[in-house]
Amino acid sequence: MSVTIVWFWNDLRVSDNPALYHAAKRGRVLPVFIYAEDIGVRKLGSVKKWWLYKSLVSLNETLKKYGVGLVIRTGFDTVSVLKELVREVKADAVYWNRRFDPTMVARDERVKKELISLGVKVECFDSFLLHDPNEILTSTGKPYAVFTPFWKRLRKDVNVPRPLPSPERIQGVGVRVRSEKLEDLGFLPEFKRCESLEEFWKVSEDAARERLRRFVTSSLEGYERDRDFPYLDGTSLISPYLASGLISPRQVWYEVIGASEGKSSKGVEAFLRSLAWREFSYHLLYHNPSMLEKSVKSIFERFPWRLEKSEFYERWTAGLTGIPIIDAGMRQLRKVGWMHNRVRMIVASWFTKNLLFHWKLGEEWFWDTLVDADIANNVQNWQWVAGCGIDPVPFFRVFNPILQSRKFDPKGVYIKKWLPELEKFPSEYVHEPWKAPLPVLKRAGVELGKDYPLPMIPVEESGRTALELYKRLRKD
């Protein structure tokens, strides 16, 4: 009987998992997770490790219901581990779902070649994206570089396949296969913030479906209106599940489209458009792998970014900048490993255009602290906000965090949730506590500089400095 190894990575689910589904139809199956040195572009962030640990526990439990367990292996390079497993279980095929991180693409190609040269059948399936970056190209055969035409094309021409069901049964390989202990991978001990993450997130395939359903029933209709307001429960929070593949984008796509019958479809279209940003990020990264390291607009390679992790950097990461909307975002990130998209834009703009830090330093901090850390989305968005990416916010558009705060959190509900020290502030002053008269500060029980910091740098002036530097750069 045929034996297929199913190599899991960012597809940690049983439903709509084409590699697993087709392997189960073919014969015996060995599900494997490999944590090797060559995992890709960079090491996993510490919060992502926590998420991965939980996801793997859950996947293992689900697989056990089928009577098979997840085999965990570590090693120096993935192909050696796979070759060893092929020998051990006499596998004649290895299946996986395609990955689109450029360093993984290169690694996976090497793995494929080596396995094929040993006479092992290799099949790779699509489920991580809705589109194939090689196939969706402009009329001149080039990759897209602007979001709106990309989105129009995706919406019109891409026939998103229906999600596959979970396999009816999975037959194990019938021999005992050594598995390393998940606890030994070192995913948990490095991390001290588990408690607040545990409180906030349920990590499993079922939890992903449940969260999506809840969003579809309660918030989808108002998504277009509410998604920019961080104090509302207006977005899906599905990003970490998508990033680790506890849910597939096509499952999300069809659940959302299915909900539009009889309802206003504005929310649906706005949501699908958001989901298409994930596609666009991968499209861009796939065709421009150097954007992982370099600003796409090469002029920014000469910009005098700050590269030192100075005290300003530390205060930004700690949520102690003295600008409440920024501090609220950074504390939300610290506590639950997630931040609202609008606030991500505000904190990233402040970091790059007011503090003038290189976008890569911010990107790396997000990478280490987000549960939804995703290489394409993170790099693309950081470059977009910093003004140096493809189709970005122009550099001269410097967000004013105070105006953003007044507009998107007018009563300071979001700010007060994450900055309890400002709880008693009247909404008039909560966006700029340093402008509050002494009696207001007294009533709020806040001594600036002691209970809450003064702004680290002047808001408007620092924005102007960035513009001056940019103008000078263009003249050179």
Ligand X SMILES: Cc1cc2nc3c(=O)[nH]c(=O)nc-3n(C[C@H](O)[C@H](O)[C@H](O)COP(=O)(O)OP(=O)(O)OC[C@H]3O[C@@H](n4cnc5c(N)ncnc54)[C@H](O)[C@@H]3O)c2cc1C
Residues that bind ligand X in the complex, under the rule CB under 6 A:
227, 235-239, 242-243, 274-275, 277-278, 281, 341, 344-345, 348, 366, 370, 372-374, 377-378, 381-382, 385
Please choose, from the candidates 424, 423, 411, 421, the residue with its C-alpha nearest in 3D space to the C-alpha of residue 448. Answer: 421
The smaller minimum CB distance to ligand X, of residues 91 and 272, is found at: 272
CB of 384 to ligand X, least distance (A): 7
The smaller minimum CB distance to ligand X, of residues 15 and 236, is found at: 236
Q: In 91-236, at which residue ranges do the beta strands (DSSP E only) sit? A: 93-97, 121-125
CB of 247 to ligand X, least distance (A): 10
For residue 41, give the DSSP letter.
Answer: S
Strand, helix or coil for residue 121: strand
Tokens matching residue 451: 């209970």
Buried b (16+ CB within 10 A) or exposed e, 204-226: bbebbbebbeebbeebbbbbbeb
CB of 379 to ligand X, least distance (A): 8
The smaller minimum CB distance to ligand X, of residues 12 and 243, is found at: 243
From residue 124, alpha-carbon distances to 8, 19, 23, 105, 129 in Å are 11, 7, 11, 11, 13
The smaller minimum CB distance to ligand X, of residues 85 and 333, is found at: 333
CB of 175 to ligand X, least distance (A): 39
Please choose, from the candidates 379, 297, 383, the residue with its C-alpha nearest in 3D space to the C-alpha of residue 42. Answer: 379
Please tell me the distance from the alpha carbon of residue 259 to that of residue 257, in angstroms, as a whole number: 5
In contact, 369 and 334? CB cutoff 8 Å: yes
For residue 3, give the DSSP letter.
Answer: E
Tokens matching residue 247: 């849910």
CB of 273 to ligand X, least distance (A): 9
CB of 348 to ligand X, least distance (A): 4
For residue 32, what are the β-bridge partners? 7, 71
CB of 242 to ligand X, least distance (A): 5
CB of 393 to ligand X, least distance (A): 10
The smaller minimum CB distance to ligand X, of residues 97 and 281, is found at: 281
Tokens matching residue 318: 């700690």
Tokens matching residue 313: 């950097």
The smaller minimum CB distance to ligand X, of residues 191 and 277, is found at: 277
The smaller minimum CB distance to ligand X, of residues 220 and 444, is found at: 220
Q: Is 240 exposed, middle or buried (0-12, 13-18, 19+ CB in 10 A)?
A: buried
In contact, 333 and 197? CB cutoff 8 Å: no
CB of 232 to ligand X, least distance (A): 11
Sheet holding 93-97, edge to edge: 71-75, 28-36, 3-8, 93-97, 121-125
Residue 277: which H helix or E strand, with range?
A: helix 266-287
Q: Do the strands 121-125 and 71-75 form a parallel or antiparallel pair, or are they unpaired?
A: unpaired
CB of 239 to ligand X, least distance (A): 3
Conformational region of residue 294, where left means phi above 0, alpha means psi within -120 to 50, and beta covers everything else = beta
